[in-house]
Chain A
């Protein structure tokens, strides 16, 4: 009975620590000598961790916007640091996406990773738990610990299983993130000074002058903008993607970028709402640059992974745009975009992985006419490419549609620039599809390609179902976000500036 109690009352703790525990078990028991056992063990762990997050869906109270599944234990009483967890409708879909993606990554690595299998699998399992920790921490320090800790497995994944220039990519990634994170820590210490607590909810109530708010906002901004990434702090991402192994790219694109987006909603904006309003023009400008500038850069990429990486940055522009126009439709659109991009970018990177495993090249010029030898794979790729281009009926459409519609109300020209994604997004994605997949078989290597095996088919089919499912019935996501987004906007509408004269 005690056992059941833990599952019922500590859903979030289980969601965080089960994959970490599973990762440690895999690390201890698995080895390259027992490759099959290690893989199955990792799969079992990731599946268990995925099922452990399902109560967040089944037991979620959709009528409430406040934090649910809260857990609170004192951690370091002398500094009033608590182990405080809780999620709202913004966090839950992201947590489910995380545990889901981990299963996909484990299956995707099956025959591809042949060296240090246990370490690879463990890195992803542990990373999954830590990222869920980021999504559910309501204490600044706890959040910060998860935030920093999660980077370590990612550095290792890129640094050990990565490509030729992995060291440059890892260092660039590290430098970018470190700079931002340190400023975030400074912000937390400042807030601790003001409130004597690291409770996020205390920060929400804290009145702050506009200058203080701007400084706090900018400190958080440095951390989160790098992670999303926003222009101009985005250049680490294409390099990191190119060097990362497929699984690393998938987690990076599907989840890690969303940590930045989520954290804007959880920390930067509600703690400094007046600054968020004050700086919204600046943030929207950066978002639009991401959407337009980055899309044009994506158009001329020669490396498929770089192209998809730039495409990710461009798509994440819709997330930040949706945040800073302060409308329910835009905000929900941004969240839907985050979830949808999780599936689509994962699928796109897995597709590149499928090709890379066979040809050991990511250069578009090395391909041509792949559809002739891999017709089933090509069908999947066209579907995901269409989703990436925002075709209605796929999840890629929903978020962009909502954000663009909301932007029309904010300012027609903002919507105008954002809507160019319809043209540019289709241009860079489908032009790549044309050059890689269509045409005559380009060279003998392409001629020898074998179509998807059952494992690859399974992964892509599951992702295809998700992409279409959420495209046809996105209410599954907005049911979560609806009330929480409403409350978030209500909070954002109230100024935190100290009332003059007091």
Chain B
């Protein structure tokens, strides 16, 4: 990274920028050079591009660093300027602001699947069909592939995927003689048994999370969002949704869910000390376990997601990101080439080696990938489970073209179910109303 930036600085740093670098007594060795490529005028950008063939990539995904190194080694004339412009929402805000301002827009941006429709609808990101993205059908598993398509366009290339699975703490299960649940009914039973045996232990933690809730509804066969261009229908009372709420309401009402916010330090602590016994979460989780929950090394295992019907094989996607090319990019061909390298070609293996979970069928089915033993998971070949899950994602799901907003107000309404006597069904209804209202205000035709 540092090398790239230094070269960019040489290539054409704006005068003011280098002056400041000198003025503050810093040797000007680091990121300053990145500034001109992003935020100065379009002509500066072009000059920089002609000079060195530089593209700017906004992404927070950690393994991309190695991908960039590999990419530049393979194509020495191209410079990739990898910028962590914030995680998730922060980056979307930055991207929207840059698009609105018409300058400083990156050539490639990481965008999570749930957020992509919003950028696709406003045509802020490029339809990749002319670049040959349509020929990649079959390269990716269905879940992520469907997530990057909108109408007839393809607005991103899948970078990773998050088919859901059940991560459980085997030590805790063994200690209390609990069987690994195969259905949600068994899961609830396990929750009761565990909490009764140890009042400090919970089957899982949940304080209301939009991504998790929608993924659960997705697995249950619910299709609350129907989107056709600018026509949107929202219904959180369909059968699939009801299946989920009926089950989850029991866990909430009986106080069987640890009131710990996901991704907090307390959450990591709970995962480590047995307070949180399971996680139903995307297949990208192993890397986070390995780095964040070292205390429980060897204790966790992975099993298929619990089913709504005994013997069923249904999962859904949870999280995961694509790479997309903003419409304002001045070097789309180069941008696309990088994305393809990172998401389809050699870059995938680089990322897998660093612990990422792929969206490409070829890599998912490779023996090397599937047979890999994870010491953290007691030498379990967890990818066997996870790769199978990737093939079992329930089809037909879509997110709202304004899901980022909808998710931001999720806890205003559905959150009430976790802290008051409001039911999950009522909470979802209120969320639906808020989403409908917003959609109408934004000019969608909403039912």
* Genuine A/B complex: no
